[in-house]
């Protein structure tokens, strides 16, 4: 049974679609793969309707196994009820947690952490993902379950300020963004800067990892507010063979 992703989100009965898929499976029809149907459903119908936990439930009951792609789609689109069912069916929540950290969905992150997803996995971790995307609440949640927030990279957070503000200058030139972070604009031009908030949060929990390099990055790119925060937190202006001091002098 093929599912048309253009189905109107108001008229479609996702429960009926799910029942049809399962009945077809039980009856030995052409679609006899509940796992494939589950993956197809999560990738299409759920995306377009924002519903479908009952469909996932009946497919799992029919023998469908949780696939990684199903997990990722459910996490990416914030479908907590579906995640709960997939976890109950024995799915691996680790990659889905990283997707939740990327999207910033606290409901998804909370559900996956409760299910035992490892917030301290090696490699490009969930923590790094949340820092890169500037989701302070997610980083706080990861810290609560033991993620090493105090030793995360301040350089990563500072570089993200630079990257986002450069994009702002490129795509929003009417904001007249200067060398400083755009959150320093005043009045109606002022914009909230979650990237700056991330640097501030990491410093507030005692993080000093890479602070001197972060200071150099901020100074070289003209972010005076970040420079001030880092210096107050104890960054050494004489570090890095004089490169930090040179960047600060050029900033004057």
Mark whether 163 and 243 lie in a shared domain: yes
- Look at residues 41, 75, 92 and tell me which one is the last residue of a structural domain: 92
Mark whether 166 and 85 lie in a shared domain: no
Residue 21 lies in a domain: yes
| Residue 195 confidence (pLDDT) | 87
- Look at residues 61, 92, 123 and tell me which one is the last residue of a structural domain: 92
Mark whether 158 and 80 lie in a shared domain: no
What are the DSSP calls for 234-251, one per residue? T--TT-GGGHHHHHHHHH
Residue 3 lies in a domain: no
Mark whether 159 and 247 lie in a shared domain: yes
Mark whether 166 and 247 lie in a shared domain: yes
| Residue 82 tokens, joined | 């579906």
pLDDT, the chain, mean: 75
CA angle 10, 103, 112 (to 5 degrees): 95
| Residue 226 tokens, joined | 């970040």
- Look at residues 41, 76, 92 and tell me which one is the last residue of a structural domain: 92
pLDDT in tens, 159-170: 998 888 776 555
| Residue 204 tokens, joined | 């507030």
Residue 247 lies in a domain: yes
| Residue 4 confidence (pLDDT) | 43
Residue 201 lies in a domain: yes
Mark whether 158 and 240 lie in a shared domain: yes
Residue 64 lies in a domain: yes
Residue 107 lies in a domain: no
Residue 42 lies in a domain: yes
What is the chain's Cα-based Rg? 23
State how far the alpha carbon of 77 is from the alpha carbons of 21, 100, 202, in Å. 22, 9, 28
Residue 139 lies in a domain: no
Average pLDDT value for residue range 163-183: 54
Q: Identify the band that residue 124 occupies on the pLDDT scale cut at 50, 70 and 90.
A: low
Mark whether 76 and 160 lie in a shared domain: no
Q: How far is CA 63 from the centre of its chain?
A: 31
Measured CA to CA, the distance from residue 36 to residue 31 in angstroms comes to 9
| Residue 33 confidence (pLDDT) | 65
Count up the domains in the chain and report the number: 2
* Residue 136 CB-density burial (10 A; 0-12 exposed, 13-18 middle, 19+ buried): middle
Average pLDDT value for residue range 178-192: 46
Average pLDDT value for residue range 59-82: 74
What are the DSSP calls for the chain, one per residue? ----TTS-TTT--HHHHHHHHHHHHHTT-S---HHHHHHHHHHTHHHHHS--HHHHHHHHHTTPPPPHHHHHHHHHTT-HHHHHHHHHTT---HHHHHHHHHHT-HHHHHHHHHTT--TT-SSS-HHHHHHHTT-HHHHHHHHHTT--GGGS-HHHHHHHHHHHHHHHHHH-GGG---SS-GGG--GGG----HHHHHHHHHHHTT--TTHHHHHHHHHHTT-HHHHHHHHHTT--TT-GGGHHHHHHHHH-
Q: Identify the band that residue 188 occupies on the pLDDT scale cut at 50, 70 and 90.
A: very low
Mark whether 175 and 86 lie in a shared domain: no
Measured CA to CA, the distance from residue 156 to residue 28 in angstroms comes to 53
Mark whether 245 and 159 lie in a shared domain: yes
Residue 218's domain spans which residues?
154-251
Lowest mean pLDDT among 55-59, 85-89, 143-147: 55-59
User: Which one, of 111, 117, 124, lies nearest residue 152 by Cα?
Assistant: 124
Sign of the four-CA dihedral 16, 17, 23, 24: positive
């Amino acid at each position: 049974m093929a599912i048309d992703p253009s189905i109107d989100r108001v008229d479609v009965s996702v429960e009926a679609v799910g029942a049809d898929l399962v009945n077809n499976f039980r009856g030995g029809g052409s679609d006899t793969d509940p796992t494939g149907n589950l993956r197809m459903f999560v990738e299409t119908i759920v995306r377009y309707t924002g519903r479908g936990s009952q469909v996932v439930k009946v497919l799992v009951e029919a023998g469908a196994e949780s696939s990684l792609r199903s997990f990722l789609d459910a996490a990416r689109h914030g479908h907590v009820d579906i995640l709960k069912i997939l976890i109950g069916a024995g799915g691996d929540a680790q990659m889905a947690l990283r997707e939740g950290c990327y999207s910033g969905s606290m409901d998804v992150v909370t559900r996956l952490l409760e299910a035992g997803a490892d917030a301290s996995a090696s490699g490009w971790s969930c923590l790094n993902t949340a820092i890169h995307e500037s989701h302070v609440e997610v980083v706080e949640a990861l810290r609560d379950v033991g993620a090493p927030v105090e030793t995360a990279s301040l350089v990563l957070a500072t570089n993200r300020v630079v990257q986002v503000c450069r994009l702002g200058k490129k795509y929003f030139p009417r904001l007249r963004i200067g060398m400083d972070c755009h959150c320093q604009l005043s009045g109606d031009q002022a914009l909230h800067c979650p990237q700056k908030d991330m640097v501030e949060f990491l410093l507030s929990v005692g993080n000093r990892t890479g602070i001197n390099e972060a200071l150099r990055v901020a100074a070289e790119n003209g972010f005076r507010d970040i420079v001030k925060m880092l210096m107050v937190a104890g960054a050494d202006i004489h570090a890095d063979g004089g490169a930090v001091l040179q960047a600060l002098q050029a900033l004057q």
